Amino acid sequence: MSGHRYFLGISCLLLMICCKKRVAENQRQTLKGMKRIFTILVITIFTILSCSENKSGTTKTNAIEIEKENKTETKNAKLETSDTLNSNNYSDLDSQTTYTKELDLFWIRDLEENANKKIGFISLSDIYPLSEHPDSLAIPNYENVDKNSLQYFKLNASYRKRVLSKTNISETDSLFIYDYSTDVLLSFPVRKLNVVAYLNDYMDIKDCPCSQSDYMIGFEVTKNYLIGLGKYFSEALVFIGKENPFTHGQMKAIVWQKIKAEKFPLGKSNLTEKQKEYKHKNTIKGQAYLYETKTHQIFIQDYTEPNNLIQVQDRHLIIIDKQSDNVVNETIFNNSEGTSVTPLNFGINNTNYPDLKEQWIGKLFKDKPEVIFGFEWVSFGCPSIIFVNSQNKYVQINCDNRH
């Protein structure tokens, strides 16, 4: 009987993996989705086999910079704008919190697998307002051309000018790519980059002619120039402007220390009872964690299902300033249809998967305070980067999520 129960348990786990994988494949808009599937699969295998943990070594960093531009005044079209961030954590509350959007960033996608092109692609579609007027279309009319050429094509000079004008990007700007996992910085003058249109992953060229909204429009960078970026470019961030906003060598992957649940400073929580009720019903306290910097204590309390202690449903984050002993940031992350909490310490403990480090902290930007991120995967919309000591500021990542 015990053998049958074990076999049944393994079968259920494998079925759960297949279901999660199918859902994720349907949702896969970016290579972040691939990373999410792979992580879930590997974590389950490691749980079943009870593999031992290894400590990872420090990552050797290097810096590469291609064709530096002269430093002039910072591009202000993307800075210091006021916006409202729709946080999953407080979506059920009566009032919304107003956040200040400090910066616009973009993701870079590797198109080699999906489009068979050795290209890094940066979509601008999230900031490119489309018009249905015939004289303002984002792409030409290609009704009478070979459909095979419609998946990916370069825009001519007039359409390029239209894209740059509507996105407030200048030919004298530069495109900066920074990989915080490898500490590599690359820069490319906008005037030397092609503007291209790429048919999104949910469309097939057999269905074309396709509308302009079916295309992702942005810059391409040949992979030969993307030296030093991590696998799939999944830890690379892109900024477009006059000056490089990124620092060098100041980001760290968080190594969490397990602590007893009673050490979690729940008594300092600033959440209202209604906000606390947003957690899943019937969850129980799981493992608690701590990470410390010179200036802050960062606490995590996980909440799991009573009959599945591996599956984290909710995660409570509290950041305390050491000098004042006050809470400076507090968030609850949830498993939901659109989000799921990420694993802790997986890429740290398992040296075979160094690219699966999720939580990062440090001074990412030259003129801004420390940031922290990597606590949840997002299926709908795009992720953002939060500041360690500020509850109401964030950095938007434009990911062109078509899900």
Tens digit of pLDDT for each residue in 326-361? Answer: 999 999 998 888 889 999 988 777 777 767 789 999
What's the whole-number mean pLDDT along residues 107-123? 93
pLDDT in tens, 61-71: 333 333 433 33
* In the predicted structure, residue 300 carries a pLDDT above the cut 50: yes
pTM here? Answer: 0.78
304 C-beta neighbours (distance < 10 Å), count: 18
* In the predicted structure, residue 114 carries a pLDDT above the cut 60: yes
Q: Which two tokens stand for residue 125?
A: 């579609």
* In the predicted structure, residue 375 carries a pLDDT above the cut 70: yes
d(CA 18, CA 31) in angstroms, rounded, equals 19
Among residues 189, 220, 178, 232, which one has the least CA distance to residue 64?
A: 178
pLDDT in tens, 128-153: 998 888 778 898 887 667 777 889 99
Domain ranges of the chain: 2-44, 81-241, 251-391
Distance of CA 113 to the CA centre of its chain: 19
- Mean pLDDT, the chain, rounded, equals 79
- What SS3 state is found at 355? helix
